[in-house]
Amino acid sequence: MTSQPHAAPPPEGILAPTRRTDSADTTNPMAPLTVGVEEEFLLIDPGSRAVSPQGPQVAALAAGELGDRVGTELTRYQVEVRTDPHTGLAAAAEQIRTTRAALARAASRLGLRIASTGTPVLGQSAPIPVSPGPRYAKSVAVFRALDDEQTACACHIHVGVADPRDAIAVSNHLRPWLPTLTALTANSPYWAGRDTGYASWRSTTWGRWPVAGPPPYFESPAHFEELVEQLVAVEAVMDRGGLYWDIRPSHHLPTLEVRVADAALTPEDTLLLAAVVRALTATALTAIRAGDPAPRPAPELLRAACWRAARDGLAGPGIDPVTGRLVPHRAQVDRLLELISPALRRHGDLDLVRTQWTRLRAEGTGADRQRAAYRSRSSLDDVVDYVLSATCPTRTA
């Protein structure tokens, strides 16, 4: 689904397929993988600090600069944007920043701001104001009150993996690292006026969908296809676009899509995630070429590990889904970065990741930073103001 520049974006919120350069030559282990980013934002009234239901209007205005790289989401409180595919993160970083600024300018024309947080700090009504379009209307008819708490924003990373066999095999290799990625990217501690006690409340609410959370271990592409066909046939999903697993082969791009992360508070947080996911994918491809089997943690243990990561973020111990033991989440991140360091070096991202991980260790996750903003005056208004400033400090540039 596409839209023309300077025209209103498509009402369905499904972004247009990226050109075929979104894929890479994964048969060559030394070839750089492309990476693209989808970011979802909340629209905020700066006076009340509550979410504002003007997503379709803001998306239409932003299309003047962003064309079909902007679209609506399920709720009118949200807008989604995406980058082009990039092989170098410097270019991706520039586009992430300019895209956020363009969206912020469009929002400001309606007196609004954009916020990159997984859940709304203030303001949420049920039933939600749903964006126009038959797909969204069908979602409400099929999933009913489940949609009422889906004012949830994520950061999705697309890595160029065009071969379905590779995409399924990489998904298997990435599954055990989902709790670590959840802890690293937690940025949704508040929900509609209260502290949930979780670092990533979005992850917890999102897990209520019938097809969400860690994907199954797939024995083959045929196993994947058979399961998807069954899920569609029994109406557990409306179509392939409704596969809300944390990892999935994209239904409309030649990519593997990693969907586990909350909306990233800052562009730097987004870049860290993009670099880590790409390097993890490249590392998995190397293991696949070498014939190394993917670990197969018990689904129940993997689910428990994801829950623990969503609750605590980087604080305290998490569950290693392979060994079943409690391990500090920060130690798990260190182990992950050691594993993927050859791929980070090969893509030119090692220094960036080291710098950003040092920063994150000192400042904490987005959830930690939101809570720090609250502690100074015990004010949720302060949290919203902090998120707004961190999301796009140069919104009118």
Condensed to tens digits (0 to 9), the pLDDT of residues 278-311 reads 999 999 999 999 999 999 999 999 999 999 999 9
Alpha-carbon span 282 to 275, nearest angstrom: 11
Q: Is residue 247 one of the residues assigned to a domain?
A: yes
> Is 9 part of a structural domain of the chain?
no
CATH number at residue 234: 3.30.590.20
Mean pLDDT confidence for 343-349:
98
End-to-end, the C-alpha distance of the chain in Å comes to: 30
Q: Please list, in sequence order, all residues whose beta carbon lies within 8 angstroms of the beta carbon of residue 375, skipping any fewer than 6 positions away.
A: none
In a domain, 141, yes or no: yes
Residue 228, in any domain of the structure: yes
Q: Is residue 7 a part of any domain in this protein?
A: no
Q: How far, in Å, CA of 117 to CA of 263, rounded? A: 5
Asked whether residue 14 is domain-assigned, the answer is no
Is residue 8 a part of any domain in this protein? no
396 lies in a domain? no
Distance, CA of 350 to CA of 300 (rounded, Å): 34
Task: Provide the domain limits for residue 363.
Answer: 20-391
pLDDT of residue 395: 46
pTM strictly above 0.75: yes
More confidently predicted of 179 and 26: 179
- Does residue 41 contact residue 70 with C-beta atoms inside 8 Å? no
> Is the bond preceding residue 127 a cis peptide, omega within 30 degrees?
yes
Q: With beta carbons less than 8 A apart as the criterion, state whether 113 and 104 touch.
A: yes
37 bridge partner residues: 157
For 190-203, how does the pLDDT look when each residue is reduced to its tens digit (9 = 90+)?
998 999 999 999 99
Instruction: List the Cα angle 299/365/122 in 5-degree steps.
Output: 95
Cα distances from 228 to residues 139, 143, 242, 260, in angstroms, run 18, 18, 10, 19
> Running DSSP on this structure, what letter comes out for residue 128?
-
Q: Per-residue pLDDT averaged across 140-148, rounded?
A: 70
Q: What is the mean pLDDT of residues 75-93?
A: 96
Mean pLDDT over residues 139-157, rounded? 80
Contact 223, 233 (CB under 8 A): no
Say if CB 322 and CB 66 are below 8 A apart: no
Number of domains into which the chain is organized: 1
pLDDT band at 105 (very low <50, low <70, confident <90, very high): very high
**CB-CB neighbours of 38 under 10 Å:** 18
Does residue 6 or residue 367 have the better pLDDT? Answer: 367
